[in-house]
Chains A and B, each alone.
Chain A
Amino acid sequence: MEKKYLLWSIAIVVAFIPIFTWIYFLIRKDEKRKGVIFAMFFFGILTVAPLLLFQYSWKLFPQLNVFTVIPGKISNIIISSILIIAILAFMEEVFKQWLVRFADKKWLLVKSVNDSIRLSIVAALGFSFAENVYPYFFQLLGSGDYKGLIGAYFFRSLFTAGAHIFFSGIFGYYYGIGKFVTNYRDEAKWKGKKLYIARFICKIFRMPQDQAYREEKILQGLLYAGIFHSVYNSFMQYNMIIPALVVVLIGFSYLMVLLKRASGQLNLVTDISMRQESKFQKKDEEVIFELIGQWMKEKKYSDVMNACNRLLQKDPENNTVKLFKTKAQDAIQGIDIYHEATEIIGTRKQVEDKSTIGIESVKIKKPGQNLPQNFQDSEKYGKFLEEEKKKKEADPTYKLDISPGGPGI
């Protein structure tokens, strides 16, 4: 019995070291909310329980045992094994995402898209920790297979944990977008996206549009997480280690790019009681949003940023404006998977910025090109007005005389 406790303790400690390292390097900027991180990690461990319960239920309800039911219905071994892998992978992702949604609803933890990604990652690391402790490390320690333990330790601590981070992080990204549905839906709308799926969900389930868009994003995140998880597990099942690692490396890199974006760090939670009224009429503000959306599509990023800065002076609490501004900022800085990849291989290209207004305004800002601010007070202008007045009185149809001897011009 004592040996069993010793094995458990060793398994827990050795499993915790790499997980703690992951959390430290990925989440250290979030150190103000250590309590939240610890809570999410702990709940992540608990998400193993429903899966274990499901597996335990097979004894009572054999018809739920996917390992026997599916091969019985599908004769092709490869298809049936991939289907089993997919079902289990999706179940894992469903339980992990349920935890994030529950915790956020209960304690309002997610204030930005990056918050959602980070909390999902922590929950995934909790799950990974539990999985590593039992069955892997505990059983390998118990069997005395230390060589196998070392191999499993490094692989599971690095790549399997990285895989869980990727799958859950991607879900977290889409959950975050769905949470701040008003701003992201507006941004998509002004960029001319038709939002067909959200409109379909809205129609079929008779939901408000915002809720439909939110559900679409959550489903999208779950789908991507489940698919990538299934693909990874399938590769591992058939000993296709290199493709599995490629999936994890690319996915993990993509997640790091998402976390680097300024738009992901934007705090989109609004205290309605503190909100200042916009100085714009809605109809006029929509004109500006249409233009900004069009400019984003045309890659006029500087024009977008400048317009957003000026609009924020009149409507400082507008999160959709802040979202456009930070997305333009991300685009100008090339914070996307393509530019980050080209930077790694040393062929990074300048981001194309097709702004026109900003560029043109720099051209005309030369001394002497513009009228002085208060030309209306100038003697020259005064004389011009007097001449105009005389000519209008003399001829009611007169518009302007700019004969060479005319009003001093």
Chain B
Amino acid sequence: MTEAHITIEDIQSADPQKHIKLITIAGQLDESNVDEKAQEIYTIINQNPQSLFMIFDFGKLEYMNSKSIGYLTDWYGKVTQGGGKIAIAQAKQNINDILQVVGLTQLIPIYNNIDEAKFAVLNPQ
């Protein structure tokens, strides 16, 4: 069974309506662990149905399978439906390429580092 670790950090917000989370995923997301790990993200989404801003730190994510990409698309749908936003930071080149080919980068922007992702998430539309 391959390992994947998710750490979730709350980011303080002066606006109580806005919930900002920095989600760091390290390791590999594959068939052996993706369903279990995905539930952690769904729990956050269910707990914060409105105005949820999620920054995924993929700096230590080595591999993600097709199912995890499916989950990412679903999270995007749920989060944006509630007026929130998703961004990805520090994705490795192979992950970046996969997300670009499947077209997810048109929906979820990928930034070079966490600072850029934070800035983007807070930028009003």
Q: Which residues of A contact B (CB under 8 A)?
A: 279-281, 283-284, 287-288, 290-291, 294, 303, 306-307, 310-311, 314, 356-358, 360-361, 364, 368-371, 375-376, 381, 384-385, 388, 399-404, 406-407, 409
Q: Which residue in B15, B102, B118, B120 is a CB contact (below 8 Å) of A288?
A: B102
The 7 A-B pairs with the shortest beta carbon distances in the complex, nearest first, are A290-B66, A361-B106, A403-B14, A357-B103, A409-B122, A291-B66, A310-B101
Q: Which residue in B20, B73, B115 is a CB contact (below 8 Å) of A385?
A: B115
Q: Least Cβ distance of A393 to chain B in Å?
A: 14
Judge if B47 is at the interface, Cβ distance under 8 Å. Answer: no
List the B side residues contacting A381 at CB < 8 Å.
Answer: 116, 119
Q: Which residue in B22, B66, B94 is a CB contact (below 8 Å) of A399?
A: B22
CA of A361 to CA of B108, assembled, Å = 10
List the B side residues contacting A284 at CB < 8 Å.
Answer: 63, 94, 97-98
List the A side residues contacting B116 at CB < 8 Å.
Answer: 375-376, 381
Main secondary structure of the interface of A (DSSP, over half): helix
Q: Which residue in B9, B14, B94, B107 is a CB contact (below 8 Å) of A402?
A: B14
Q: Least Cβ distance of B70 to chain A in Å?
A: 7
Q: Which residue in B12, B98, B101, B125 is a CB contact (below 8 Å) of A368?
A: B125
**B13-A303 in contact (CB<8A):** no
List the B side residues contacting A311 at CB < 8 Å.
Answer: 101
Task: Give B116's nearest chain A residue, CB to CB.
Answer: A376
**A288-B103 in contact (CB<8A):** no
**A306-B13 in contact (CB<8A):** no
**Given contacts A369-B125, A384-B115, A400-B12, A288 and B107 within 8 Å (CB-CB):** no
**A356-B73 in contact (CB<8A):** yes
**B98-A402 in contact (CB<8A):** no
List the B side residues contacting A369 at CB < 8 Å.
Answer: 125
List the A side residues contacting B118 at CB < 8 Å.
Answer: 388, 400
List the A side residues contacting B9 at CB < 8 Å.
Answer: 399
Judge if B23 is at the interface, Cβ distance under 8 Å. Answer: no
CA of A257 to CA of B107, assembled, Å = 37
List the B side residues contacting A294 at CB < 8 Å.
Answer: 66, 70
**A406-B14 in contact (CB<8A):** yes
**B12-A371 in contact (CB<8A):** no
Task: Give A388's nearest chain B residue, CB to CB.
Answer: B115
Q: Least Cβ distance of B73 to chain A in Å?
A: 7
Task: Give A360's nearest chain B residue, CB to CB.
Answer: B107
Task: Give A290's nearest chain B residue, CB to CB.
Answer: B66
**A357-B122 in contact (CB<8A):** no
